[in-house]
Structure 1
C-alpha cells in the first residue's frame, strides 16, 4: 500500500539521520576491537558478502579468496558453496520469522 511505502521511506530517512556524517567511508577507517575468530562468524561473513555484494556462492572456490583466507588463518578450510547457500537460506528463514512476529506484535 502507499501508506506502507510511506512508512518505510520515513523509517529509512530516520535511520539515515542517525548515521554519522563521518561514516561516509562505511567505517573502513575507524579503529575496531578485533573480533575473535570462530568458524560460525566466518560463515556469517561469507553469507553477508554473498548477499550484500551479490556474489555467487561459489566465490569461496576462488583460488585468490582461498589464498587470502590461508594467509590470514593458516589451515582454515573454506566452506563448500552448498554450505554457503544453506546458511543464506537459514538466515532468510529466521529473519522472515522475526519480521513476521515483529509486525504481528506491532499490528495489535
Structure 2
C-alpha cells in the first residue's frame, strides 16, 4: 500500500510590530515581588507603572523588588509573491487593544 503524498509549498512571511490604528505600542504593568500587588495597566508609557512602584515602596518600605510586565502586539504579514498578500489587511484588533 502506497503512503499518501503530501505536497507543501513554502511561502514568504514577515513578522512585524502591529502598528495599526488603535493598537498600543506596549501595555505596561508593575508587580511587587513581595506581596504580588500590581499596578493598573497602562498603554504606551511605563512612567505610571514606575511611579506606582515608588508609591508602593513608600507605603511598604520592605517591598523593594518589582517585575515589569510588558505586552507588545505582533502580526505576521504575507510578503510579495505570497498568495495571501491579495487578501488585504487584517480587520480585527488583538485582544486588549482599544477600538
TM-score of the pair, normalised by structure 2: 0.26
Higher RCO (CA-CA < 8 Å; seq separation 6+): 2
Give the helix-richer structure, 1 or 2: 1
Larger Rg: 2
Say which structure is richer in strand. 2
TM-score (norm 1): 0.24
